[in-house]
A = this chain, B = another copy of it.
C-alpha cells in the first residue's frame, strides 16, 4: 500500500488528540472531548482536519456505555515513522506505525562511524529506502536519528564528537531530510534511548528519570516532567567525564580520572586484556587467544565460568558508576534509573554493585522509592526512541526544529 505524504498537526488540540491515541490506542470522541475539556463538536472538527492531513482515521464504533454511541479515533493506518540509531560500530533502522510499533528492522553487520558522514549516511539512506520499499511506504511522516556523540539539536548537527571523526558540524538532519523528503530530527544516542524507554520500556510511568548508557563510553539521558532535558548548551548528561579520582588513567577528553577512563566498554576491554596478558586470568587469556580481542560479552561469559578477575573488574566498574550515580541522586532525586547499553549485558552482577553503591551513599529520602533497573527494550530502545522524537514533532504544531 503506497502512502501519501502526511501533514503535521496544526493546533494544540490536534496535537493532544494524536499524542493520546499514540500513547494509549484508539479513543472515543466522547473520551477525547472529556479529556481535552472541549465540546464533541470541536473534537469532530479537529479529527476531520486530522483525517484530511492523513494523520488520523475512523477507528470504528466505541464500546457502548449505555448512552449515545461514540466513534473511535485512531491514527491513520498508513502512517509510518523511521528510527535510526548509529553506534560506533552499528547501524539499526526500524520502520514503525503511527503508535511507534516496530513493523520492520534492518541493520548492517560491519558499520563503522569513523568512515565519515557521507559514506555512513549514504548507507543509512540506501537501507532506509530498501526497508520502506519492502513495506510499501512511499514517504514516511518523519525520521528520527540518534548518533554516538554530542549534538547541537537546534542546528541538527554533531558538535566535536570524540569518536566520530569527520562529523563535526556536518548537517546530518538537513542532508537526510533533503534526500528522503521527510521531516528529520537528530539527537544523541542516549537521549533517543531514554525516549524509547519512556515510550514502551520500564520508564513508561516515570515523570523524572535517568537513562544511563554504558557502552563504549558512558552517557545519560535526563527526562524532567516527561520531556528530555538537554541543558543550556545541549550537552547535559555527559557523565562519562565526571572526575572520580584526582589521578587515574588519561581519558579521551584529555583529563585524568574521568569515569569513562575507568569503566565502560573501552576501559573494560583494556583492563581485561592486560589481566589476560599478565596471567591473572586463564579464562580471559584463552578467550583473547581465540578471538584476538576482548569485549564486555567476553567478560560476561568469563563470569559465568566463574572467573574471579572478570567478576572483580565488573564489580569495580559497577561501584564506580554507582558512586557517581549516588551523587546525581542527591542532586537530581530521580524517580527511576534505567541502565542500558552494551556493557549492561553484564546484567545483574553489574546492577547489584551499582545499586549497592547508590543505596549506601545517598540519603534515605531520595532512595526510599528509587528503582534501579536494567533496560527492557535492549536493542530497540534507540530506534523506537528516534521514531518517538520525530513523532513528537509531527504531532505538534509549530517549527519542530526549535
Interface residues of A (CB under 8 A from B): 150, 159-160, 207-208, 220, 222, 224-225, 227, 229-239, 241-243, 253, 255, 323-324, 326-328, 330-336, 361-363, 365-366, 368-370
Contacts and interface: CB of A to CB of B under 8 A. Distances in A.
Nearest to A207: B232
Nearest to A242: B327
Contacts of A230: 333
19 contacts: A150-B365, A207-B232, A208-B231, A208-B232, A222-B331, A224-B224, A232-B333, A232-B335, A232-B370, A233-B369, A234-B333, A235-B333, A238-B363, A239-B331, A241-B330, A241-B363, A243-B326, A331-B332, A332-B332
Contact of A331 (B208, B236, B253): B236
A231 B332 contact: yes
Contacts of A330: 238-239, 241-242
**Residue in A224, A227, A331 with the greatest tally of chain B CB atoms within 10 Å:** A331
A321 to B, nearest CB: 13
B331 A242 contact: yes
A325 to B, nearest CB: 10
A233 B332 CA distance: 10
Contact of A224 (B229, B235, B242, B326): B229
A311 to B, nearest CB: 22
A387 to B, nearest CB: 24
Contacts of A207: 232
A367 to B, nearest CB: 9
A241 B363 CA distance: 8
Copies of this chain, how many?
A: 2
Contacts of A324: 327
A335 B230 CA distance: 11
A238 B366 contact: yes
B333 A238 contact: yes
Contacts of A237: 331, 333
Nearest to A244: B327
Given A243-B326, A253-B363, A326-B243, A333 B233 contact: yes
Contacts of A368: 233
The 8 A-B residue pairs whose C-beta atoms are closest, nearest first, are A231-B333, A232-B335, A236-B333, A242-B327, A235-B365, A238-B330, A235-B333, A242-B330
Contacts of A243: 323, 326-327, 361
Given A224-B224, A255-B361, A363-B253, A231 B334 contact: yes
A323 B159 CA distance: 25
Contacts of A327: 242-243, 324, 327
Contacts of A159: 365
A326 B255 CA distance: 13
A239 B331 CA distance: 5
A235 B334 contact: no
Contacts of A233: 333, 335, 365-366, 368-369
A46 B234 CA distance: 38
A225 B335 CA distance: 19
A160 B227 CA distance: 30
Nearest to A333: B231
Contacts of A253: 363
